[in-house]
Structure 1
């Protein structure tokens, strides 16, 4: 009987995915769902044929160099792969895969929710009806927000998620603008009535709402630097459902405190899981809406991610190229 590959999973996955993993492979699950320590990750790469990490695991060069010769595949349960030193893995002959595409609609939904929530002050309004508060009733000038229809939305990163956000935003009457490394196909631009900006600086200075949807790469670290954030109009809002490191969070906080930016909606943070106390205070004042990295958190999405992990592992050990390999050209 063919020996099953030894698979180590770093966090709890949906029951259906874990059950199938146990059926197909010699799988060690993380039943307690406690983040693995560095020592546990080292032990895992020394013994596993396949490591299944998540975005919270730092699979850096030092860890990869600790791997035993049996580790042949890192099948990440994630859309992004910035938590993995892919170059070091490939140099060691270790294939890296991810789970692209399945989170597009879920993340776009959450992005649109934040685009609505921040200007319309939805979280502030919900807090008014907390059990320990009294609501005096409706008045014409209370809790006034901003209309989003007719406003300009600038999308930073017009990939799958950026396009999905644009489709939703267009339905809400927003004017679509975008900055991307490459211009999208003419038929996409035409369908979205989208305006392309080759200069990110020029786009930032003219938008009412900015949505960050680009991946985290060495080139996008602090892409929205303090200099660029200062280009935004005082009436503008910023939404980020991508990666916290794309924005200089300390600079953003200072600008929000100074009312140099009208507000922000953040689902990701630069130093996750730590959240800046200053951001928490701004949230209490209604200046920002903060979510705990839940943009892709749907049951359907997580199961689809798990199915992609299973397919990648099976394809690899059946002697085929996994469909979701991370290639050097993608770095």
Structure 2
């Protein structure tokens, strides 16, 4: 079946601007993504979701849906085999929030470093999964002068410069996970970090997961954390979210409710990429550019002379806020999962590092490498 405008579109209510973007394509209905059911799709032509919606035969059977788009980098919540088999077109938003996730990683690690008195730039970083997010993180870290070990077995088949996972575990002081979630193929990532591998982390290592929760066996992680109080855990994603293990959270230095990529810029970019894919599918001409929907950058510039990098980062994003908000929900088992979703749904406006102009003087190259925009002379007070 070929779709032609106008069509009926059902979209996750947490996709900002999606109704404005798609208004020229047809009627847009907004629903909470985690609660979309087959009954919602009886007269829907296109379904636009985020990662909280599992899209498979059980959801789509007997529906008229002919296009599925996800405003996320990953597609593990889509049954692509089923979509391809029944001829449903699909699209995603690779890289839409990659910069925001990198901002999150740097903010979290530099906050931890400030609290514990170490310099992240003098340590060895390990990046596991060097795709849209991991590749950008590696590029920023290398520009900052950090020593970076890259692990990506699929890319390593055809490219040089990659390190085996065992070497990353033994040699990296900070290990960041940015793999997709896969259960089959040459390099499945489900429970990639099992108990055996977790035990191989070097003393005082920082382990950060801002990729997919089940890449780490969370039961094994709790067992190892109980035996290894030296490990520094930063967790944005959880194996059974929206359920979060309270005992595991208590062993983490920083926690958050799967919001690493939740910048306003990234969300709008994700919505726009899905809109583009849908417009192409139905042969419609895009009416407005992405810049139409992105907010303006902040006026003026911040002088960083007397500020630490962590303090400058907090001018844009403070991971301690998300840590406090999530921890406050964990003692009420009856409503914890609902509160997890509410934190995501009602997430505050957060911009990316590039929205902040800095006056950095001799540190200009460092702050530019981190992702901030250097102030032009006309922007200075």
Q: TM-score, normalised by structure 1?
A: 0.77
- Conservation of the 8 A alpha-carbon contact between 2:67 and 2:88: yes
Question: For 1:121-136, what aligned pairs fall within 5 Å after superposition?
Answer: 121=115
Separation (CA, whole Å) in 2 of partners of 1:307 and 1:319: 14
Question: For 1:249-264, what aligned pairs fall within 5 Å after superposition?
Answer: 249-259=218-228, 261-264=230-233
Partner of 1:133 in structure 2? none
Partner of 1:116 in structure 2? 110
Separation (CA, whole Å) in 2 of partners of 1:36 and 1:163: 30
Separation (CA, whole Å) in 1 of partners of 2:221 and 2:142: 27
Q: How many residues align?
A: 277
State the shift of 1:178 in Å: 1.0
User: Relative to 1, partners in 2 of residues 1:311 and 1:3: Cα closer, same or farther, differing over 3 Å?
Assistant: closer
1:51 paired with 2:47, answer yes
**Cα deviation code 1:183-203 (max 9, x no counterpart):** 3997xx7xxxxx521x21232
Question: For 1:30-179, what aligned pairs fall within 5 Å after superposition?
Answer: 30=31, 34-37=32-35, 40-64=36-60, 66-68=61-63, 70-121=64-115, 144-179=116-151
Partner of 2:282 in structure 1? 317
For the residue of structure 2 that corresponds to 1:196, the secondary structure is coil
Which of 8, 11, 16 matches 2:10?
8
User: Relative to 1, partners in 2 of residues 1:220 and 1:61: Cα closer, same or farther, differing over 3 Å?
Assistant: farther
**Cα deviation code 1:47-77 (max 9, x no counterpart):** 211111110011134323x242x32110112
Separation (CA, whole Å) in 2 of partners of 1:61 and 1:160: 29
Separation (CA, whole Å) in 2 of partners of 1:184 and 1:145: 39
State the shift of 1:314 in Å: 0.9
For the residue of structure 1 that corresponds to 2:24, the secondary structure is helix
Partner of 1:268 in structure 2? 237
Separation (CA, whole Å) in 1 of partners of 2:34 and 2:132: 31
User: Relative to 1, partners in 2 of residues 1:106 and 1:185: Cα closer, same or farther, differing over 3 Å?
Assistant: farther
**Cα deviation code 1:196-222 (max 9, x no counterpart):** 21x212321221110101111221111
Partner of 1:135 in structure 2? none
Separation (CA, whole Å) in 1 of partners of 2:144 and 2:173: 14
For the residue of structure 1 that corresponds to 2:207, the secondary structure is strand
Separation (CA, whole Å) in 2 of partners of 1:93 and 1:297: 31
Partner of 2:29 in structure 1? 28
Partner of 1:207 in structure 2? 172
Separation (CA, whole Å) in 2 of partners of 1:55 and 1:271: 13
Question: For 1:216-255, what aligned pairs fall within 5 Å after superposition?
Answer: 216-218=181-183, 219-255=188-224
For the residue of structure 1 that corresponds to 2:140, the secondary structure is helix
State the shift of 1:281 in Å: 2.2
User: Relative to 1, partners in 2 of residues 1:249 and 1:305: Cα closer, same or farther, differing over 3 Å?
Assistant: same
- Conservation of the 8 A alpha-carbon contact between 1:151 and 1:208: yes
**Cα deviation code 1:212-265 (max 9, x no counterpart):** 011112211111111111111122110111111111111112222222652111
Partner of 1:128 in structure 2? none
Separation (CA, whole Å) in 1 of partners of 2:211 and 2:62: 30
CA RMSD of aligned residues (A): 2.3
1:305 paired with 2:284, answer no
Partner of 2:19 in structure 1? 18
User: Relative to 1, partners in 2 of residues 1:184 and 1:119: Cα closer, same or farther, differing over 3 Å?
Assistant: farther
Partner of 2:299 in structure 1? none
Separation (CA, whole Å) in 1 of partners of 2:138 and 2:264: 24
Q: TM-score, normalised by structure 2?
A: 0.67
